[in-house]
Structure 1
Amino acid sequence: MEQRSGGDVRLTAGAEVRAVHVGPVDNVAYLVTCRRTREQLLVDAAAEPDALLELVRAGSPAGRLALVVTTHRHHDHVGALAEVVAATGAATAAGEDDADHLPVPVDRRLRHGDVVRVGEVALRVVHLRGHTPGSVALVLPGGGEGPDHVFTGDSLFPGGVGNTRGDAAAFASLLGDVTERLFGELADATVVHPGHGAPTTLGAERPHLPQWRERGW
């Protein structure tokens, strides 16, 4: 499929954010590069390792991929994880309840409220239970140069929360966590970077929360 990456670079006070769309179901992998140290963090080594390594090089030819964070255990989000880790020596991180289901050993098991650092940039871990038990999002502060950014994996998209496969309890858990931990704590200007498709903002999605709750998916 056509790769779309590199040209759209979003800046915060401390970081650059790049994205590439990979694989047959339009997964999006995100590269966060510390603007000062050029150290890098990749969110979801989903597929097409060559495209992901090209993204890393575009982010900083002299930089170092320090960490790959996997938002959740599903196969379409880990398809290139082993290859990227082998090529770069990057460490791995994932939500504690999903870590044992990844195809590589996980160096760091993430819990709600943890902080993940890349160079001088700190991202906050948000545990969002429901799509999988250990799904996590990462919040990157804008730091005065624009809005905050949140990488949501498959827990929040334009138009709704992630698929909970008809499980009413899982849906209630996911919608509750998204409502409290994202919409309840972050500003409307926050940019949502989902695991598939196009970005959105919390402000664009907030009015639809009652509709999502009523329809049950």
Structure 2
Amino acid sequence: MTYSGVVKVGGPADVHELTDLMISKVAVGPMDNNCYLLRCRATGEQLLIDAANDTGTLLRLIGEDSIASVVTTHRHGDHWQALADVVASTGARTYAGRYDAEGIPVPTDVPVEDGDVIRVGRVELTARHLVGHTPGSIALVYDDPHGPPHVFTGDCLFPGGIGNTRKDPDAFASLIGDVESKLFDRLPDETWVYPGHGRDTTLGAERPHLPEWHARGW
């Protein structure tokens, strides 16, 4: 079946099959968070992005092959409610942005800096530090050698705008600046965007709207 990126709480995962990587997207409650399971097709190693909630749902998605690691995109509580239980069940290494790690009540094994590489099997993900939604939010970029890039943006970029900066003009300027310089300026329009909530998008679909985002300030 063709991947749509449309999932709902209590529903099945949607699977995006790439040449070297399988991406399974599932929604969990109560805030309709997206969680992403990445599986290296060459080695079978798996990585989870955001153990947001619904431990049972996530462990069923992970399956018997378990996970080697789990990345938390940022410190907000709706993105780590199931983290402690998932780590206890799998023994996974934990990753988070260095400047958000102290706000996550599960120890971070690997504090992540901008430009750090996180591996799942033979696949490499490059972390991008995006400041404004939180001090240490990270996005993960997979530069697919067989097609367009894929980026997991947490709560920093959605269809229709950047993440919530709480009407703080400095936070807004920081986040939109980082999103532009580290994502839009470096990656092509075909780049697939997987956000922390809701539907997927592409950089090409969002790029024409950057001026209006600047103008409205959110």
Does the pair score TM above 0.5? yes
> In the alignment, what sits opposite 2:100?
98
> In the alignment, what sits opposite 1:3?
10
Tell me, in whole angstroms, the C-alpha distance in 2 between the residues paired with 1:77 and 1:214.
29
Where in structure 1 are there 5+ consecutive unaligned residues?
none
Give the CA deviation at 1:55: 1.0
Tell me, in whole angstroms, the C-alpha distance in 1 between the residues paired with 2:157 and 2:25.
17
The CA deviation string for residues 75-110 of structure 1, in whole angstroms up to 9 with x for no partner, is 000100000000000010000000011111100000
CA contact (8 A) 2:127 2:139 kept: yes
> In the alignment, what sits opposite 2:166?
165
**Superposed, which structure 2 residues align to 1:9-88 within 5 Å?**
9-57=15-63, 61=64, 63-88=65-90
| CA 1:207–1:165: 2 relative to 1, 3 Å | same
Aligned residues: 211
State the AA in 1 paired with 2:169: A
Give the CA deviation at 1:25: 1.3
| CA 1:189–1:133: 2 relative to 1, 3 Å | same
CA contact (8 A) 2:117 2:125 kept: yes
SS of residue paired to 1:4: coil
Candidates 107, 110, 126, aligned match of 1:108: 110
Tell me, in whole angstroms, the C-alpha distance in 2 between the residues paired with 1:90 and 1:172.
35
Which 4+ residue blocks in structure 1 deviate beyond 4 angstroms? none
SS of residue paired to 1:65: coil
Tell me, in whole angstroms, the C-alpha distance in 2 between the residues paired with 1:49 and 1:215.
38
Tell me, in whole angstroms, the C-alpha distance in 1 between the residues paired with 2:189 and 2:145.
15
RMSD: 1.1
> In the alignment, what sits opposite 1:174?
175
CA contact (8 A) 1:38 1:64 kept: no
Tell me, in whole angstroms, the C-alpha distance in 2 between the residues paired with 1:87 and 1:103.
17
CA contact (8 A) 2:130 2:156 kept: yes
| CA 1:73–1:155: 2 relative to 1, 3 Å | same
Give the CA deviation at 1:53: 0.7
Q: What TM-score comes out, normalization by structure 1 length?
A: 0.95
Give the CA deviation at 1:26: 0.7
Q: What TM-score comes out, normalization by structure 2 length?
A: 0.94
CA contact (8 A) 1:12 1:143 kept: no
